Structure 1
Amino acid sequence: MRRWVLLWIAAAATIFGAPPSFAGEVQKPKGVVELFTSQGCNSCPPADAVLARLAARGEVVALGYHVDYWDYLGWKDTLAQPENTERQKLYGKAFGKREVYTPQAVINGRTHVKGGKRGAVEAALVELERTGKGLSVEITVTRVGDSVLIDAAGSPGGIGNAHLVLVQFDPVKPIVIERGENKGRTISYANPVTSIQTAGMWHGKAARFELPRSEINKKGGCAILLQAMGEDGLPGPILGAAIVAPETQAP
Structure 2
Amino acid sequence: MTTLRARMGALLLLLALAAPAFAEATARPVGVVELFTSQGCSSCPPADALLAELAGRDDVVALSYHVDYWDYLGWKDTLATPENTARQRAYGAALDRPVYTPQVVINGHRDAVGSNRKAILAALDRPESGALSVDIALSARNGSIFVDIGAAAGPAAAGLADAHVIVVYYKSSEVVSIESGENRGRSVDYRNVVTGFQTVGMWHGDSMRLELPKSEIVRKGGRCAVLVQAFDAEGRPGIILGAAHSGFDW
TM-score class, shorter: 0.7 to 0.9
CA RMSD of aligned residues (A): 1.8
Residues 19 and 141, structure 1, Cα contact 8 Å, conserved in 2:
no
Residues 26 and 135, structure 2, Cα contact 8 Å, conserved in 1:
no
Q: Say if 1:27 and 1:173 are closer, same or farther in 2 by CA, change over 3 A.
A: farther
Distance in 2, matches of 1:174 and 1:27, equals 30
Residues 27 and 141, structure 1, Cα contact 8 Å, conserved in 2:
no
Match of 1:198, as an amino acid? T
Distance in 2, matches of 1:133 and 1:28, equals 13
Distance in 1, matches of 2:162 and 2:231, equals 8
**Is residue 143 of structure 2 the alignment partner of residue 143 of structure 1?**
no
Distance in 2, matches of 1:76 and 1:224, equals 29
What corresponds to 2:176 in structure 1?
Answer: 175
What corresponds to 1:215 in structure 2?
Answer: 216
State the aligned residue count.
227
Q: Percent identity?
A: 51
Write the deviation string for residues 50-89 of structure 1: whole angstroms up to 9, x where unpaired. 0000001222000000000000110000100100000000
Residues 88 and 100, structure 1, Cα contact 8 Å, conserved in 2:
yes
Match of 1:217, as an amino acid? V
CA positional deviation for 1:163: 0.5
What corresponds to 1:236 in structure 2?
Answer: 238
Distance in 1, matches of 2:227 and 2:117, equals 22
State the TM-score, normalized to the length of structure 1. 0.85
2:249 to 238, 246, 251: 246
Residues 27 and 241, structure 1, Cα contact 8 Å, conserved in 2:
no
- Which range moves more in the overlay, 62-71 or 213-222? 213-222
1:1-251 equivalences in 2 (<5 Å): 17=19, 19-20=21-22, 28-97=28-97, 99-128=98-127, 131-155=128-152, 156=154, 160-218=161-219, 219-244=221-246, 245-247=248-250
Residues 41 and 102, structure 1, Cα contact 8 Å, conserved in 2:
yes
Residues 90 and 237, structure 2, Cα contact 8 Å, conserved in 1:
yes
Structure 2 unpaired stretches of 5+? 1-17
Structure 1 unpaired stretches of 5+? 1-15
Query: Which SS does the other structure have where 2:100 is aligned?
Result: coil
Distance in 2, matches of 1:18 and 1:61, equals 23
Write the deviation string for residues 89-118 of structure 1: whole angstroms up to 9, x where unpaired. 000000012x21000000000100001011
